[in-house]
Homo-oligomer: A and B are copies of this chain.
Amino acid sequence: MFDHIKVIAFDADDTLWVNEPYFREAELKFAELLEDYLPQHSAVQELYKTEMANLALYGYGVKGFMLCMMETILRVTENTAHPDLLHKAIRYGQEMLGKPIELLDGVEAVLQALNGRYRLVVATKGDLLDQERKLEKSGLAHHFHHIEIMSDKREKDYRKLLRHLDCRPDEFLMLGNSVKSDVLPVLAIDGHAVHVPYHITWEHEHIAQPVIHQRFRQVNVITDILNLLP
């Protein structure tokens, strides 16, 4: 089924390296800041509400997340928060930006096996500088022909990426951990997709129903992709 593939695009966060757990960790620390005001679960829910309200304005990434932590603290405490809470929220965010990169199992083996046989690209959303920095830190940059940092991963964004790569949809395979961002829009524009689940998915990326499609496969671990390719 993947006979005509020329370009393989990899999502980055939680496909190539650990990301979502760092957000979860930060959310828990954030909730602790508000423990005098709200139960932990509600604090996380309030933060998510703020993120969704600002998503169109801020886009994805740590800086927007930091701004949302600040805004949530101010709202929940009705502008009575001790400024120390805000100071800590900034620090938590800055720590996230400085995290080391932890590659996921099998990633290097897969890239090594495919490098030279396909044009490999990274197709990720998020903050431009932060994603470039992560790719550099990862030591994986030399495997990739092109890095596309996308402001979103909707059908029109993938169409733009394909034009840009001068690649037909039936020659394109996207591989990632998010059914919503890495699979459905790619299938919708006639590309191929492989889902490699990660054990944590951000609520915003969650899709309940299973995908069944002739140009789609789900694998358990990233190295399984090697068995699907000719």
Contact = CB atoms under 8 A, between A and B. Distances in A.
B57 A128 contact: no
Nearest to A64: B63
Oligomeric state, in copies: 2
A83 interface: yes
A170 interface: no
Size category, A interface: 20 to 34
A66 B69 CA distance: 13
Interface in A138-160: 146, 149, 151-152
A94 B54 CA distance: 9
Given A84-B79, A86-B70, A164 B151 contact: no
A77 interface: yes
Interface of A: 57-59, 63-64, 66-67, 70-71, 74, 77, 79-84, 86-87, 90, 93-94, 97-98, 127-130, 132, 146, 149, 151-152, 164
